[in-house]
């Protein structure tokens, strides 16, 4: 069992000589491999490089491991040189100086140093140092730097982030991502997640998406620009992509699919569940910038002869599946639009009242081919949260909600955070 005490920074042992049983130098410590284990990745071996060879010394053959001495329970002549398999995770090569997601701060940070420590008797990777102190330590001037900065009344602090609050972005490292940090990543606000995703390269972006559950991925995707969404979907496995598309509101899903090559889009639609696929298919037939392209087909519609009491009961059942619950549309058996009722009116009405007696009629509607600008003006003019879209027979085809046109209404400055990738 290797003997090690306390926490050690990787920079403090990097390039230190590694001795064998007889005290002969095997080589210099150049890297450390870690393996998957909960909650922290445990050290599996030391990578030791001599003038000619590279050796891997398994952790259970290590005798002493501290800032001053590193030694192994083995004789130098007994070790054979190896080529390190590319799948191995080397913390200096793969983590040091790289970018990583700080889940609490919801941003990308750069790893200046790594901290190893005792976890249930195993030496494990416990934290990343992202502060100035880490850089100074790497340069070997930590204490000098501290003294100089203290003259300026600046206290040099450790900025450490525990491994369980970190999410690597490098695809290869995703197997090190713990269930804990996966859940944490899912707790990030989708907008924050989207912001981070928009800042990493396309390879890394797929790795982050791969680690998310379908629901979180759908929400984060929702926040990105359509062309970027299409890129991400294009990179994913078809099964996962269609699962995510199912989770998205049909109008969003249609936007994403509209930016993909037709063959690919059709393939994904075929993989989706029938109901969702039909909605999306229908939306795809309209021009993207018209009411038909902007609308969603998930809305609340009730018959005119329903009572308020029944409607409220029905509303509870259907609410989870629709984008907005503030308007209830009243349609006949041909799905022709008769009137509208706000949630407020519904709640205030007596339970036995029929919907047709309290609905507002006739109501303003948009044609399928109305342009985005006209849709935005319509919603703004009548102060609506959503506008109904009907075809030439007055059949209700969908609704455009205010969030679909809000970007069009607000001046560019207030939407500057919605970045292109």
Partner 1 sequence: MINRIKQFFERNRFAAILSVIGPGLIAGNAGNDAGGIATYSIVGAREGYGLLWALLLITFALAVIQEMSARMGVVTGKGFGDLVREQFGVRVTLAIMGLFVFANLTVTIAEFAGIAASMELFGVHKYVSVPLSAMVVWLVVVKGNFKQVERFMIGISLVYFTYVVSGFLANPPWKEVARQIAVPHLKMDRDYFLLFITMVGTTVTPYMQFYLQSAVVDKGVRIEEYPIAKYDAYVGAFMTVFIAFFIVLCTGTMLHPAGIVIDSAEDAAKALEPLAGQFASHLFALGLLNASFLAAFVLPLATAYGLSEAFGWESGINKTFSEAPQFLGFYTAFIVIGAGIIMIPDVPLIKIMFLSQTINGILLPIALVIMLRLVNDRSLMGDYVNSRRMNVVTWITVSVLIALTAMLLITSLLFPA
Pairing of strands 17-19, 54-58: unpaired
Cβ–Cβ under 8 Å, residues 211 and 182: yes
Residue number with CB closer to partner 1 (30 or 297): 30
3-state secondary structure of 282: helix
CB of 85 to partner 1, least distance (A): 16
Q: DSSP 3-state assignment of 7?
A: coil
Report CA torsion sign: 255, 214, 186, 159.
negative
Q: Is 155 in the site for partner 1 (CB under 8 A)?
A: no
Report, in Å, the least distance between residue 77 CB and partner 1: 33
Is residue 14 within 8 Å of 93, Cβ to Cβ? no
Residue 198 binds partner 1 (CB under 8 A):
yes
Tokens encoding 136: 């100074």
Q: Which is nearer to partner 1, 32 or 399 (CB)?
A: 32
- Say what angle helices 179-187 and 202-211 make with each other, to 10 degrees: 100
Residue 16 binding partner 1, by CB under 8 A: no
Residue 262 contacts partner 1 per CB under 8 A: no
> Judged by CB under 8 A, does residue 286 bind partner 1?
no
Residue 139 touches partner 1, criterion: CB under 8 A: yes
In the numeric block, the tokens 């200046």 are attached to 112
C-beta of 97: minimal distance to partner 1 in Å?
5
* Burial 256-284, CB ≥16 within 10 A → b, else e: bbbbbeeeebeebbeebeeebbebbbbbb
Which of 18, 62, 96, 269 touches partner 1 by CB under 8 A?
Answer: 96
- Shortest distance (Å) from residue 53 CB to partner 1: 23
Q: How far apart are CA 194 and CA 176, in angstroms?
A: 22
Question: Which of these ranges, 194-202, 236-244, 305-313, 322-330, lies near partner 1 under the rule CB under 8 A?
Answer: 194-202
Nearest residue to 168 (alpha-carbon basis) of 159, 158, 177:
177
Question: How large is the greatest C-alpha to C-alpha distance in the chain, in angstroms?
Answer: 96
Q: Does 138 bind partner 1 (CB under 8 A)?
A: yes
421: contact with partner 1 by CB under 8 A: yes
Q: Does 200 bind partner 1 (CB under 8 A)?
A: yes
Least gap, CB of 329 to partner 1 (angstroms) = 34
99 is an interface residue for partner 1 by CB under 8 A: yes
368 in contact with partner 1 (CB under 8 A): no
Q: List the interface residues with partner 1, window 231-250 (CB under 8 A).
A: 231
Selection from 368, 361, 366, 332 nearest residue 345 by Cα: 361
Query: Does residue 227 bind partner 1 (CB under 8 A)?
Result: yes
Q: Which residues partner with 170 through β-bridges?
A: none
The nearer residue to partner 1, 189 or 360, going by C-beta atoms, is 189
Instruction: Name the β-bridge partners of 101.
Output: 108, 167
Distance CA 117, CA 98 (A): 21
Alpha-carbon distance of 410 to 115, in angstroms, equals 47
CA distance 415 to 396: 31
We find the least distance from the C-beta atom of residue 286 to partner 1, in angstroms, to be 16
Binding residues with partner 1: total (CB under 8 A):
29
Min CB(166)–partner 1 separation in Å:
13
Residue 307 binds to partner 1 (criterion: CB under 8 A):
no
Q: For residue 420, state whether it binds partner 1 (rule: CB under 8 A).
A: yes
Q: Give SS3 for 372.
A: helix
Q: Rank residues 141 and 348 by Cβ distance to partner 1 and give the closer one.
A: 141
Q: With binding defined as CB under 8 A, does residue 208 bind partner 1?
A: no
Q: Which 106-125 positions form the footprint of partner 1 (CB under 8 A)?
A: 107-112
Residue 157 engages partner 1 in binding (rule: CB under 8 A): no
Q: Does 180 bind partner 1 (CB under 8 A)?
A: no
| CA–CA separation, 196 and 181 (whole Å) | 15
Smallest separation (angstroms) from partner 1 to the CB of 204: 8
Residues near partner 1 (CB under 8 A) are 96-99, 107-112, 130, 135, 138-139, 198, 200-202, 204, 227-228, 231, 412-413, 416-417, 419-421
């Amino acid at each position: 069992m290797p003997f090690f005490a306390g926490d050690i920074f990787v920079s403090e042992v990097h390039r230190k000589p590694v001795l064998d049983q007889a005290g002969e130098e095997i080589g210099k410590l150049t890297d450390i491999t870690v393996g998957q284990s909960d909650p922290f990745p445990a050290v599996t071996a030391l990578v030791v490089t001599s003038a000619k060879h590279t050796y891997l010394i398994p952790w259970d053959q290590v005798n002493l491991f501290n800032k001053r001495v590193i030694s192994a329970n083995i004789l130098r002549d007994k070790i054979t040189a190896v080529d390190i398999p590319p799948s191995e995770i080397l913390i200096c090569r793969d983590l040091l100086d790289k970018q990583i997601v700080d889940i609490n701060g919801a941003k990308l940070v750069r790893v200046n140093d790594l901290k190893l420590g005792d976890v249930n008797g195993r030496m494990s990777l416990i934290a990343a140092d992202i502060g100035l102190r880490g850089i100074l330590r790497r340069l070997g001037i930590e204490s000098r730097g501290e003294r100089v900065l203290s003259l300026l009344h600046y206290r040099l602090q450790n900025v450490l982030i525990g491994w369980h609050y970190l999410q690597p972005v490098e695809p290869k490292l995703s197997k090190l991502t713990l269930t804990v940090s996966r859940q944490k990543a899912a707790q990030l606000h989708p907008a924050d997640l989207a912001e981070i995703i928009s800042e990493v390269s396309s390879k890394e972006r797929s790795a982050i998406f791969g680690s998310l559950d379908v629901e979180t991925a759908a929400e984060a995707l929702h926040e990105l620009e359509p062309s970027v969404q299409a890129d991400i979907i294009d990179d994913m496995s078809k099964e996962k992509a269609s699962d995510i598309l199912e989770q998205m509101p049909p109008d969003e899903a249609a936007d994403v699919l509209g930016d993909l090559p037709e063959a690919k889009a059709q393939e994904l639609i075929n993989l989706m569940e029938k109901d969702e696929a039909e909605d999306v298919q229908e939306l795809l037939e309209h021009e993207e910038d018209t009411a038909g392209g902007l609308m969603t087909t998930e809305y609340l519609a009730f018959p005119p002869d329903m009572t308020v009491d029944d409607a409220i009961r029905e509303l509870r059942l259907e609410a989870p599946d629709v984008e907005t619950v503030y308007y209830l549309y009243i349609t006949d058996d041909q799905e022709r639009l008769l009137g509208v009722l706000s949630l407020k009116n519904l709640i205030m009405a007596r339970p036995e009242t029929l919907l047709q007696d309290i609905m507002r009629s006739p109501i303003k509607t948009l044609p399928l081919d109305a342009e985005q600008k006209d849709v935005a003006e319509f919603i703004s003019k009548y102060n609506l949260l959503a506008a109904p879209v009907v075809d030439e027979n007055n059949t209700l085809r969908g609704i455009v909600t205010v969030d679909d046109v809000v970007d069009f209404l607000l001046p560019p400055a207030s939407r500057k955070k919605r970045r292109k990738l």
